[in-house]
Structures are given as structure tokens and as C-alpha cells.
Chains A and B, each alone.
Chain A
């Protein structure tokens, strides 16, 4: 899976687990602020994403400092998963 594919897949996954019914993957700007931005994503949503990322990609995010960087935008999340996932073939 290349970076673009991963980004697009994450958009669909986030829309689903956060029930963003009024957002389409096309609307989802991967470089926009992810938490506290227009989508209304907050700390509980972040934790839900953390669970999903561990389940789907085997990536554990349990450190506040790392989490703050990783959840800057969907693009930074994709980048982190790509670099650290043991299950994702590069």
C-alpha cells in the first residue's frame, strides 16, 4: 500500500468509526488540523482512532508527546503508521 492508498483508506476508516455522516473522503483534507478543527474531533475520538490504528495496523500510540505529533493531521497519522506498522508492507 502506498502513501496515497493509506491516506485514502484512513479517511474512510475515520469517517466510519467517528460516524462523520456528513463528510465524504473527497471533503476530508488530510493536511487540515485533525483534532479541534472543523470536523469537531476531540480527545475521545482520538482514543477511538488509537484503538483502530492498533487493531488494523498493529501500531501502539500510548505516549502523550508522540500522540500530539501524530494527530496533527490525517497526513501525519498516515506517515506515522507507514513508518511504524509491522503489518504494512512498504
Chain B
């Protein structure tokens, strides 16, 4: 069974960074080899002098009510689509900060008006971009710390290769904010003189901001010779914040990306290093480079010029890779003076005019999240032999080997016992009960969100009865680690910005829980945290479906959210002052393999609400198939979208003529963003226990600002 890998063309690029706005300005700045790292003015600090940062100088803050991150993303997206009336099928953004800078300002003024926090959620950035470019397909968000932008582009590549989309707008964005500025400094990872990657005297990074978004397509582009040739993801599964000392995970990601591209190691002409300038990261990356390349090609980190744009950095560097390929030069490692004998690498010292064909671009982040892209000229790829199994695994179902949930009622058994008796499960489970099966020492630094996620993964594995844990993790969460985020900002504010907590900072990162799962189970494969508001589980499932392209692969796929006294009601529009708080989540141990008798799950539909959304949904699900097979519908209507959602559901039932039980699952789970993951466990339970006939299907339909459908059936 041979397969042809589809070529992924770069049809448009938008970039805004401390170097400037647009490709031309970026190219000119790189050719000057001058650092853009300078003073912070994006927000005031209480303890001057401020540390040097990479700030975008022409970000129009006062220009809209949107937070700075959203503005940067929209600017980049519009640039990428310049001169084109094209509407992308999918938007995928990597971000870690979302609207946090605006949230910080509001909290400092003790604003309690919930509407003002509507742009806090990470998902709102991709939604704003989708709105700006009129995309009604999935607007997806990945948050894997400093590799986010690269992971977003990698996911786009996978979706394009599998035919899920033809045009995808993908990239990364982050704005400067107090959380990252003080957080990285609390970890002593900031160089007070400004970042100088790979230099023997480097002392850290310079926190920065920016956005870059690529328009990617499988449609051949005559005027654009540059393609994404391949990508590779891995997880160190070693430590929440420090890289593996030998760069083991980094080397794996590089090798995987090279292999996925169908090229040889010797074909790489230039490596754009992650090179943040922190002593440990640069050393680990240098060791990884030496592991993969017997004789390393020319290489450099541009972060001495740009600073570290966090989630944006990988996307900015992908844009820069295309400049190198199209304009025939290699950017210098700005700020480098003294070679570090431990790294044993001399980077490009001056902008180097040189014709190249293939660039390897590295991105590594907290949680041991590694992602690499290979970007190159078309001729390299057409000569290559595809070694990847991407196109073949897609028809194979995602099979459920184990499941688990946590609700206000308890763990899986208590929750399902109540559910089948049609009793409510909603509530906030005592934290001691949440983590009763977890080793005390391993979770001492973890707060509620990470404990729920870790307990869910542990229980899904136990339910599978398997010795071997899966090697990948796909986690969805709307709000992430609220406790750590709150504690960090609270301590920062109450100490007049003098004593932020390093532990809280590391724990506040959206992907910290998925990183913890990886550490506990030595899960060194892809590790992706998605954030999609009320559709976060659906996004995690879509990420799993995109990245699990090999029939030997398996993953934890889960979603969770924590209830937080101060934050939940401020952020989640489905919660009013009187709504009882609820939280929890659901998890699965999935594999890409057909196993007769087992239950499989499929994401059948994910679209933004439009005028004809119900008709589009019914067409995608096939009306006749629905009538024949569907035995029950679990409907998810968030309280904030109640009127609209009920209308959508009524219309759906009427137009399909379905006469099956409909369960509004939020009436059982309570109102929390990742409740659909608990519904997914309910659906599986109904099928496994024979409550729904073995030849029938259970459909989970999400309504509201997006409409989604997940199908559960027995094989």
C-alpha cells in the first residue's frame, strides 16, 4: 500500500515582531544584524529599571477593544491573506498568553464586570482571527508553551496531508504581559543585558512578543517555491521547566522532522536554532544538534535580535526560514561573541549570503514540548521518497481502550452509577478524593487542574488493564491552571511585583498538566494541549486524530477544567453569580487500530455557527445513516448560548426527523467548559454496558457559537 504525501505550499505569510512589520521589514532588519531588544513600555513596572524585552514597536493598542495578543494575531493574519479574497478552511493558532495582559490590567483595578474579561480565553484569539478572515471552519488553538507556533503549523501540515482541509491559516502569537515577564525572571532565566544565545557568557532570554501566520495549502503555488517539507514532535517527559540535559527529546523531534520530510540529515543546509539564550536550553540544544548531525550545517538563533516571542517564536522563525530560502542569506546569531566550549558550536556571525534549499527550524518549550519543522524548496521534496505513513493510517478508527471521568459525584464508577439513574453529577469534588490514587510527593507542587488531569490519565490507563501507557498526550482545557495563575498574579500584586512565585509560574503554563502526564508515564511522543472554550475536548480529539497517523500509536486524549472561586465566574460567561460551580473532566486511552467489539470515537463535525449550520451538520452526518443508526443524542448547550443552542437543537431534531432520547448532558455535569469530555465517557459507558444496543450509535452534539458532533459506536 503506497501513498503519496501531499505537498504543503506556503501561499502567504504575515509577520510582526520586534524586527518590524511584514516580510520586507523583517528581512532588512535581519540583514542589519542589530538587536531589537530594548525597553519595556507595553506596561508599567513597579520596580524599575525594567529588564530588556523584545517589544513590537508599532502595535496599535488603542486601536480596538481587543487585547494586544489579538491585535498582533489579526495584523499577521490579514498580512498573510493580503491581495487574496481566499477564505481558509481552518485557522490554527499557538498562543500561551491569550488576553492575559488585559486581564492583568482589569484585576489590578479590581474590575468585577464579567463582560470585560471576555477576551481572556486562549480560544478567543483564533476566533478573532477567523472572524477577521471570514473563516467558518474550525478555529483551533494549541498551547504548548514556547513550541506552540511550531505545533500549530505542524497540525496544519497533518490536516492538509490527510485531506481534512485544503487551505489552513496557521501560526503563533503572544504579547508581552506581566505573567511571562515576571515569571521567567523569577526562574532566573532572563539576561539583564539582553539575550545572547550560544555565547559562553549567556545568562538567559529576553522575553518578547509578536505574531506570524502562514497560509498553507495543498494547492500548487506557481510563485511560491517554498514548502513545509515535514514536521516532528516529541516530549522530553523529564521535567516541567528544564530541558533533558542531553537534549534527548530535542534530538528525537529533529530526527522525526527530517524523516517525515523524506530527506536525509545531510540535506539540511541551515538550522534555525531555538536558542533562547538560557544556559541550560542552549547547551541541551547544542548536544541534540551534535547527536543528529555528525557535522552540523551553518546554524544560528535569531533570538539575540528578536528576543523570545514564546508561542510566536516558532512561527516567526518559519517565516524567517522562507526569507532565507527566497532571498538567499542566513541570518546572524546577533549578540554572540565568545564561543562556549561546552556547546562546541560557532553560529553564523554575520548575515551570510548563501543559496540554500532546506532549513530545519527548532522550537522547544516548558513541559519538554519539542517541535521541529523542515522548510525547503520544492525540488528537494519532489526528489524525496516518502517514508511517512501519514496517508495510510487515516481510515483506521480511534479505538477506546480505557476511559475515566471525574465529576462532582466522584470518580468514574460513582459518576456513571449516578448518571444511569439520571441523577445529577455536578459539583466540585473534594481535592483529596480527586488525587487519592496519586503519589503524594509527585503531586505536591500541583494544584487542582493538574491533579484532575493526572488522576484522569491514571484512571484511564487503569481501566484499560494495560501495562504499557500510551506515548502521546492530547489534552483540552478552556481555562487551564486557574489556581496557579491566580496565585501568581495575586502574589505579584500584593508584593508590589517583588516576589512572584516560580512554582506558580511553572504550574500556570497551559500545558503543564499534559507535561506532568508525560513525566509520570514516560510519554515521549507528541504532547499537545488544545484550548477551545466549550469545545476543548473536541479540539483535543481533533489534534489526536491529526497527529496519530501511525497504526502503532496510542494516546491519552482528555479534557479537564477546574472550578476556581475568583476566576471561574469572571471568565466563563455560562456562570452567573448564582450558578453552582462544577468541574472535572473525562479521559480516554485511545489507539489507532481497529479492534472488533471495542468502541470507537470519531469527530464528525466542527464548524462555526452560520445561518445554515444545522443543514450543514445534517449533510455531514448523513440523514439516512442517522435515522438508521443513532440511538441517543447527548446535547451540549452552554448556558451562555442557551437560546441559540436550543433553537439549533430543535431545528436539528425537526429536520432529521429523529425520534431518539436527547439528554442535555450539562444538566448532569453542571456548567464547565470541558463537560463534553464527561459526556464522551457517558456515551462510551452506555455502549459498553449495552444500555444502548450494540449495533447503534451515540451522538454527542455541541451547540452554541460552534456546532460539533462526535460519534461513538461499537466496531
Footprint of A on B, CB under 8 Å?
A: 186-188, 239-242, 440-441, 444-445, 495, 498-503, 506
Contacts and interface: CB of A to CB of B under 8 A. Distances in A.
A68 to B, nearest CB: 13
A54 B495 CA distance: 12
A62 interface: yes
A59 B613 CA distance: 62
A22 B503 CA distance: 19
A54 B185 CA distance: 15
A17 B440 CA distance: 15
Nearest to A47: B502
Given A18-B444, A20-B444, A51 B501 contact: yes
A22 B444 CA distance: 9
A79 interface: no
B501 A21 contact: no
A20 B444 CA distance: 6
A29 interface: no
A55 B501 CA distance: 11
Contacts of B502: 44, 47-48, 51
A47 B495 contact: no
B364 to A, nearest CB: 17
A37 to B, nearest CB: 12
Given A42-B239, A55-B498, A48 B503 contact: yes
19 contacts: A18-B445, A19-B444, A19-B445, A20-B444, A21-B440, A40-B441, A40-B444, A42-B239, A44-B445, A45-B445, A48-B501, A48-B503, A50-B188, A51-B186, A51-B500, A51-B501, A55-B498, A55-B499, A62-B188
Interface string A18-51: 1111100000000000000000101111011011
B309 to A, nearest CB: 23
Given A43-B241, A47-B187, A51-B500, 13 more contacts: A17-B503, A18-B445, A21-B440, A21-B444, A40-B441, A42-B239, A43-B242, A44-B241, A44-B502, A47-B186, A47-B188, A48-B501, A55-B495
Nearest to B241: A44
The 9 closest A-B pairs by CB, nearest first: A47-B502, A19-B444, A48-B503, A55-B499, A22-B440, A51-B499, A40-B441, A48-B502, A44-B506
Contacts of A21: 440, 444
A62 B192 CA distance: 12
Given A51-B499, A54-B499, A44 B187 contact: yes
A44 B503 CA distance: 6
Contacts of B440: 21-22
Contacts of B186: 47, 51
Contacts of B187: 44, 47
Contacts of B241: 43-44
Contacts of A48: 501-503
Nearest to A55: B499
B186 to A, nearest CB: 7
Interface residues of A, number: 18
B433 to A, nearest CB: 15
Contacts of A19: 444-445
A66 to B, nearest CB: 13
Nearest to A39: B441
A45 B503 contact: yes
Nearest to A67: B188
Contacts of B240: 44
B189 to A, nearest CB: 10
A65 to B, nearest CB: 13
A47 B500 CA distance: 11
Contacts of A62: 188
Contacts of B499: 51, 54-55
A45 B445 CA distance: 9
Q: Quick one: which of A40, A48, A55 has the most chain B CB within 10 A?
A: A48
A51 B186 CA distance: 8
Nearest to B491: A51
B367 to A, nearest CB: 13
Contacts of A54: 499
A71 B499 CA distance: 20
Contacts of B503: 17-18, 44-45, 47-48
A44 B239 CA distance: 10
A21 B495 CA distance: 26
A56 B467 CA distance: 47
A48 B445 CA distance: 11
B171 to A, nearest CB: 30
A31 to B, nearest CB: 21
A21 to B, nearest CB: 6
Nearest to A38: B441
B244 to A, nearest CB: 14
Contacts of A42: 239
A61 to B, nearest CB: 10
Contacts of A51: 186, 499-502
A48 to B, nearest CB: 5
Contacts of A43: 241-242
B218 to A, nearest CB: 43
A47 B182 CA distance: 13
Nearest to A40: B441
Nearest to A56: B499
B201 to A, nearest CB: 13
Contacts of B500: 51
B649 to A, nearest CB: 45
Contacts of A45: 445, 503
Contacts of B501: 48, 51
Contacts of B239: 42
Nearest to A43: B242
B75 to A, nearest CB: 35
Contacts of A17: 503
Contacts of B188: 47, 50, 62
A22 B440 CA distance: 8
Nearest to A22: B440
A62 B444 CA distance: 25
Nearest to B442: A40
A21 B438 CA distance: 13
A42 B444 CA distance: 12
A66 B332 CA distance: 35
Contacts of A47: 186-188, 502-503
Nearest to A19: B444
Nearest to B503: A48
Which has the most chain B C-beta neighbours within 10 Å: A19, A20, A42, A62? A19
A42 B241 CA distance: 11
